[in-house]
Amino acid sequence: MVHQVQDAVGKLLGRPPHTIRGLQNNIVWREGVQVMRMDLHCHTEVSHDCRTALRDIPGWLLRTNTRVMAVTDHDQFRGGPELQQLVRDLGLDDRLSIICGEEITTSEGELIGLFLQDRIPPKLTPEETVREIKAQGGLVLLQHGFDPLKRYRLRPEATERIKDDIDIVETFNSRLSRHHWNREAARWGEVHGHLPQSAGSDAHTLRDIGEAWVETPFRLIHTPDDLLAALRIGQVAGHWTHPVYAYGRKQWRTFNGQFRREE
């Protein structure tokens, strides 16, 4: 009830309210409808190449209106459940939805599994990985699969073999070598059954989270069907950053973060 009152006051005054804990709560309205952003490809301190502390993420999500975040750490699973619990402990589970996922290294490149219940081991074949995801009731997301300069992209021949089992195609990734490959992904998704399209920042620092998004009317996301419905009416957008610049920025943010926490 407190949150609803704060949201109503913020709308009337034309400025975002704050949570009872003082976290900035940036609510966005379009034509009288509250909208949100969803980022379905993010890394945390659980990934070997990321130092984003789980404790810092909820505040950043509220600040950027990123209401839905998929935790997709490299070959690790625990970040999603731990962030879900943190959101619950903060009393923010009526504002934020955390999807438990994993960016899985198959024998022929990476795939993302969403709504997982447990870790899926690496180095399985793409077909075996898909079966493991589906056995957990999860969704298969094809990410950065069309950029030939991505070292761990799923190989084209593997993509062709599992195309009928792909549930979502990532059509905006902030870290591709060229924005052209995002357009190629969108075209592929249209040809192969008008698949739901997603966006992923591929965030490896806190401030990267939310740089790619699907904007859709606000709703809590609890199930695969909830997510697919939101994606179907959403708009994909984001900020593409040249990978050389992105790498340098990541190093600076990581170095800087050793001396101060993000605001």
Residue boundaries of the structural domains of the chain:
29-257
Integer Cα distance of 239 and 32 in angstroms: 26
Provide DSSP, 52-107. --GGGHHHHHHHHTEEEEEE--BT--THHHHHHHHHHHTT-TTT-EEEEEEEEEEB
List, for residues 119-169, the tens digit of each pLDDT value: 999 999 999 999 999 999 999 999 997 999 988 999 999 999 999 999 999
CATH of domain 29-257: 3.20.20.140
Token code pair at residue 164:
């009928």
List, for residues 202-250, the tens digit of each pLDDT value: 999 999 999 999 999 999 999 999 999 999 999 999 998 766 655 666 5
Cβ 246 vs Cβ 175: under 8 Å: yes
Integer Cα distance of 113 and 132 in angstroms: 9
Residues in the chain: 263
pTM of the model: 0.86
**DSSP 8-class letter at 187:** H
Cβ 253 vs Cβ 216: under 8 Å: no
